[in-house]
Structure 1
Amino acid sequence: MSKADNMLSILWMLRSGKKMTAQQLADELEIHVRTVYRCIDSLCASGVPIIADSGPNGGFQILGTFADSPLMFDAEEQKALVHASVFAQEAGYPHTDALGRAVDKLKRYTNEKQLTQIERHSSGLSVLQPPIDPEQKGRLQCLEEAAGQRQTLRMVYGGSKGDPGTGSVREFDPYSIIHWKGQWYTTGYCHLRKDLRNFRVDRIVSLDVTDRRFERPENFSAKDVLLEQLLPDPAGDPSLVTVRIQAHDHVLNELKQHWLLGHALIERSPGEAVYRLDSTSLHSYVPYFLLPYGKALTIAEPESLVLRMAEVSRGIAEHYGSMLSGLPSE
């Protein structure tokens, strides 16, 4: 570690209120005793009130008024950082190892009262998220590093992992990685399509760093690009279809929480909601999402969605009906 890191670490340990000898500090940090003395001299010169007691029970400690004041984070800030680390790790944040070390340092250099509070609050928060594939974590690390270093990547996308030759090959300038609705995306400039594009990280087959570099546009918003391409403007796109659903308000409230329907909502009144959706998702994805609600909702329009719901329902009934016909009767 650098001298600054050693000084900060010594300050954290002494701030816990414990009296520690130079040898104890050196053993804890795995540095030489002379380094400890030099760091303490520098801390004292910068105004930190460190006092030294000689004798069998001697050691270094900080005066109480300084030790009680927050060095970097107060109790609420510490709790927020630990909670944020829980979210990040469960979401598949690519630098979880470094994040874990940072939280360990936070816990290590707090006093017993603060550590107890941190442990209580960290155990009071849980996040349910499907585990991330180790290969995907590696790709996220590569994308984040390339975004920070402004390095163009050679990407194979959309093919079979067992046969990378089946995917499309392109050069890609990663501007950002994004976590949205349980999925990781990367947004940037695609040299193959000559435009901004979003790619799902779990569909990337391979990434290789090239010698090319790029400049990220000023005021670029990965969030805006992602939502613009995934979710068309429900009010301004004339190709969208109007969908009117009638149901109890608690059902409509649930539909509003859905990522697609919530964005497509243009009108809401008691017992009814109006959406604007593209025809592709309307007849492929939406029927299967609405089907579990059964008779709890009624599609007032369009007729094409009603017909599609009936078709999907018949298909499911025929599928399970054929299974029942093959079962032995009791």
Structure 2
Amino acid sequence: MSKADNMLSILWLLRSGKRVTAQQLADDLEIHVRTVYRCIDSLCASGAPIIADSGPKGGYRLLGEFVDSPLLFDSEEQKALVHASVFAREAGYPFTDALTRAVDKLKRYTNEEQLEWINRHSSGLAVIQTPTASRELELLKRLEEAAARGESLNMDYAKGAEPTPSQRILDPYGIVHWKGIWYIVGFCRLRQEVRSFRVDRIVRLETVDIRFERPAAFSAKDFLLRSLLPESLDAETLVNVRLQGHEHALNELCKHWLFGHALIDRKRPGEVLFKLGEQSLKTYVPYFLLPYGRSLEILEPQMLIDRMAEVSLEMYKHYQSMQIITENKKG
């Protein structure tokens, strides 16, 4: 074990409140007695209230108040940390190795009853996420560390269908995980504004000799959410969108990232009211509603009903043309 592990183990053994000799500690931990002395010296230097009693019945013990204080987490806290590690690992958290070591260390210093309790609860939780590629994990590590140190990065970024990646210098402010995708938010020196970028589209990162200060009140999460939500939500032209339908369909719709932020009222059974930007009703909102089929009805506005009819007709014509082509090939 490392010196830190030995020190923590000694503290754990001393929490019994009984006097323990250096030789007993060495035997329990299977280390040399000189290692025990060095660890106790380090603990005392760190402020741990270890008392050394001399004489035939002497030994080491902890000050009473320190024995009564919680050295580790209680069972509920341990369970929560293990569950959180599962979520982080499946979400593609870039420092999973360190997280796993921390959880292993947590389990190592629990008794058999606590460990059995933790394992029983952790086995009942599972998280399903699309695996994060190892290359993306390395990019996330570099981005997070650069953000913490205030170091700018030279970034090659692939934009959509453009054949060659664009180059820019980025001041990374923070990484954000949203809907199964990792983003980096930062100040783009090419565009001279704060922007967000998908990490899976980053081709290359290279450290440059430039330092930056992240704005004190800046929130990468809030910026990303504002940039992904429709611009029309913050515009003056907001339109009431009233829907009725099956409760399960309305429940799912209210969990949607767009509709969830636009929810105004859901007091009547089988009915819900949103406020959405007029432009969004003409563009992507109809495509979000299409999968719900006949489980939803639009009560207002009429413009959304008309647009849904147009989109449905376009879809019908699209697949009808495919059907004709297939039949011609067979003929």
| TM-score tier (shorter) | 0.7 to 0.9
Computed over aligned residues only, the root mean square deviation of the Cα atoms, in angstroms, reads 3.8
- What is aligned with 1:294? 293
Residue 313 (structure 1) aligns with: 315
Tell me what 1:139 maps to. Answer: 139
Aligned partner of 2:93 in structure 1 is 93
SS of alignment partner, residue 302 of structure 1: helix
Structure 1's unaligned 5+ residue stretches are none
Number of aligned residue pairs: 316
Contact 2:10 2:25 in 1 (8 A): no
Normalised to the residue count of structure 2, the TM-score between the two structures is 0.79
Secondary structure (helix, strand or coil) at the match of 1:166 reads coil
Single out whichever of 320-329 and 151-160 deviates more from structure 2: 320-329
The Cα of 1:275 is off from its aligned counterpart by 3.2
TM-score, normalisation: structure 1: 0.80
Structure 1 residue 226, shift from structure 2 partner: 1.3
Q: Which residue of 2 aligns with 1:276?
A: 276
Give the corresponding residue for 1:22: 26
When structure 1 is superposed on structure 2, of 236-245 and 72-81 the one drifting more is: 236-245
Q: Which amino acid aligns with 1:185?
A: Y
- Does the alignment pair 1:149 with 2:153? no
Q: Kindly indicate whether the alpha-carbon contact (under 8 Å) linking 1:159 and 1:205 is maintained by their aligned counterparts in 2.
A: no
Structure 2 equivalent of residue 122 of structure 1: 122
1:43/1:194 CA distance change after superposition, 3 Å: closer
Task: Classify the secondary structure of the residue corresponding to 1:131.
Answer: coil
SS in 1 for 2:135: helix
After superposition, the C-alpha distances for 1:289-324 in whole angstroms (9 at most, x for unaligned) are 322211111234325522333234314541663477
Structure 2, unmatched stretches of 5+, are none
Contact in 1 for aligned 2:188/2:195 (Cα 8 Å): yes
1:39 aligns with 2:39: yes
Q: In 1, distance between residues paired with 2:281 and 2:14?
A: 63
Residue 209 of structure 1, aligned match among 207, 210, 219: 207
Closer/same/farther in 2, CA of residues 103 and 314 from structure 1, 3 Å limit: same
In 2, the alpha carbon distance for the partners of 1:80 and 1:130 equals 23
Q: Is the 8 A contact 2:157 2:167 kept in 1?
A: yes
* 1:74-115 CA-partner distances (Å, limit 9, x unpaired): 222111111111111111111000000111111112111111
Counterpart CA distance in 1 for 2:234 and 2:43 is 62
Q: Deviations over 1:106-164 (max 9, x none)?
A: 11121111111111121121111111111111111011000111000111112489x9x
Deviation at 1:169, TM superposition (A): 1.0
Distance 1:151 1:65, change over 3 A: closer
TM-superposed deviation, 1:36: 2.1
Percent of aligned pairs sharing the same letter: 54
* Paired AA for residue 204 in structure 2: S
| Cα distance in 2 for residues equivalent to 1:16 and 1:128 | 42
1:168 corresponds in structure 2 to 166
